Amino acid sequence: MKKFIFLFLVLSTLKLSAQEVNIIPVPVQLDIKQKTAAFTIDQNTLIIAPDSLINSISFFTDYLSKYYGIVIGRDSTFNKKDNVIKLQVNTIKTLNPDRYELFSDDKQIQISASSPKGIFYGIQTLIQLLPYSRKAFPVQIPSVSIVDYPRFDYRGMHLDVSRHFFDVAFVKQYIDYLALHKMNYFHWHLTDDHGWRIEIKKYPKLTEIGAWREGSIIGLWPGKGNENIKYQVLPTEVKITPKDAVVKTDGIKHGGYYTHEQIKDVIDYAAKRYITIIPEIEMPAHSMALLAAYPELGTEPNKKYKVAQTWGMMNKYNNVLQASDTTFKFLENVLTEVMDLFPSPYIHIGGDEAAKVWWKQSAVSQQIMKANGLKTESELQSYFIRMIEKFVKSKGKTIIGWNEILQGGLAPNAVVMSWQGEKGGIEAAKQTHKVIMTPEDKFYFNHAQFVQEDSLTAGKASLLADVYQYDPLPAELNTEQAKYIWGGQGCLWSEYITNPVKVQYQLFPRLDALSEILWSPKNKRNYPDFKKRLTTQFKRYDLMGITYSKKYLEN
């Protein structure tokens, strides 16, 4: 009987070492050693690593304990040669701090990099080499040799917490999803028409009033649409005139916000995963929640503003700030608190969808334009953004804005996030500004994943194949201009996403496609191969209790 068990373990080890290795994003170089036995992780396995790598050590050991019930120890000396996982910094010569090398055989696993961040990315690959079943026995790692590094420096994902609020526990979970996919920026959309989500001590009414709305729209905006759970996704949004729209709200109070202490906690959590959080404070439009608290900052100061209950505010509701000295002083105080909280060198200031009609009909706005020699409302938009950019720069930070900040002239040091296709990004790159590509038709994951969707989403589709096959480097740019394409980002707007399970459903597996676009070499990307590797990834999501669409298993 003992001989039989021994033979079973030997055969299962050799079988695992020869199995397919499915890693997302696909590495730069991957060599599977078919004739070398697998490495077995058990209670006697040790991680050999210095204290400086505690972030990577903790992430891996926590994962191992949570999903496999194995607790392993650590040693900082490198004397032991067998049954060890070695993490070593400064053992490879590279100028890229994200690069790592991973080697495994039956005796040990080695992850080497020139920085702790590179080690962390190696850990994410190691996790994908683990078996995807909690019942796996023994827990083994196939023998491989990997050299890997990212294609783009900016690999981002966004979460809108204004339309629907998500608590700190879930925001941390969301950050873990990004870490597992080697993403390095989290764009936290903290303010909008539908809720102000960050405590500002100098202006308490922002959260006392601005963080809460009296209800939320029912069904697909603008109110008259197919509200059944089965509906056809249209290639463009349905154009419905206001007189046709039937807007109904649920009358349920919704809101919440993050305190300074909570935000510091989330920032620290992300930093341990080598993720930079970029906060977004929307201006000059998308400011209805702000105006509900401080109406004197609007173009209609005697108006009684309310936190918005419906989506699609542009032109229909006046959500635009006045470009006055009073407004700028207010925003400078807000941004000072925000920048003091967030160590990120970047702050997102929005700048999108500012309907010029509200400035056009405001006598004060027209006086401001005249006093500053501005001929058009687009120039007023540029004036607004330049004033904010100048202040942010004085604090040693850089602004990021949606592509509308190009209107009327781009602020000197601004980074452009191009969401209305590639045009704004191409224009900004030609002006030698950093660009983050996030085209709505490809990278907006609040859109439907299928032409026939099984739950309410925005009335557009961003299909997995279209996401995967997009390349952030536009063909129109020459080699020098292409250097300004910093990377790309996915966006998750929460109009129709009310709970964490729906976030997961909308995120996966499009986040997998995004991670491969931004990390892997272009010549390594292959959609049929990606879909094959997804079958393993889905089993890993099953292990982790992550929701995704089962439709992908049918195709």
The CA distances from residue 199 to 169, 174, 207, 257, 500, in Å, are 18, 21, 6, 7, 23
**What Cα–Cα distance (Å) separates residue 109 from each residue in 24, 100, 126?**
20, 13, 9
Q: Report the run of H or E that residue 278 belongs to, with start and end.
A: strand 276-283
As a whole number of angstroms, the distance between CA 55 and CA 276 comes to: 15
549 close to 531: Cβ distance less than 8 angstroms: no
Residues noted as catalytic: 192, 286, 353
Contacts of residue 411, defined as CB under 8 A and 6 or more positions apart, other chains included, come to: 382, 385, 386, 388, 389, 390, 399, 401, 405
Show the 3-state SS of 444-475.
Answer: ECCEECCCEECCCCEEEECCHHHHHHCCCCCC
Give the CA radius of gyration of the chain. Answer: 25
Contact between 203 and 294 (Cβ < 8 Å): yes
Query: Computed from CA positions of residues 380, 381, 382, 386, in that sequence, does the dihedral angle turn out positive or negative?
Result: positive
Calculate the dihedral angle through the C-alpha atoms of 193, 198, 204, 205, rounding to the nearest 10 degrees: 10
CA distance 74 to 46: 5
| CA-based torsion, 206, 208, 212, 213: positive or negative | negative
Contact 424, 418 (CB under 8 A): yes
H-type helices in 320-376, by residue range? 325-341, 357-360, 363-371
CB neighbours of 176 closer than 8 A, spacing ≥ 6? 273
251 Ramachandran zone, left/alpha/beta (phi>0; psi -120 to 50)? left
For residues 191 and 317, the answer to whether their CB atoms sit within 8 Å is: no
The count of C-alpha atoms lying within 13 angstroms of the C-alpha of 270, restricted to the half-sphere facing its C-beta, is 29
What residue has token string 């809460």?
A: 212
Closest Cα to residue 239, out of 312, 291, 317, 331? Answer: 312
The helix-helix angle for 527-544 and 510-519 (nearest 10°) equals 120
Instruction: Answer whether 214's CB lies under 8 Å from 309's CB.
Output: yes
Beta carbons of 210 and 308 less than 8 angstroms apart = no
Is the separation of the CB atoms in 211 and 195 below 8 Å? yes
Helix axes 54-68, 116-129, angle to 10 degrees: 20
Measured distance CA(196)–CA(199) in Å, rounded: 8
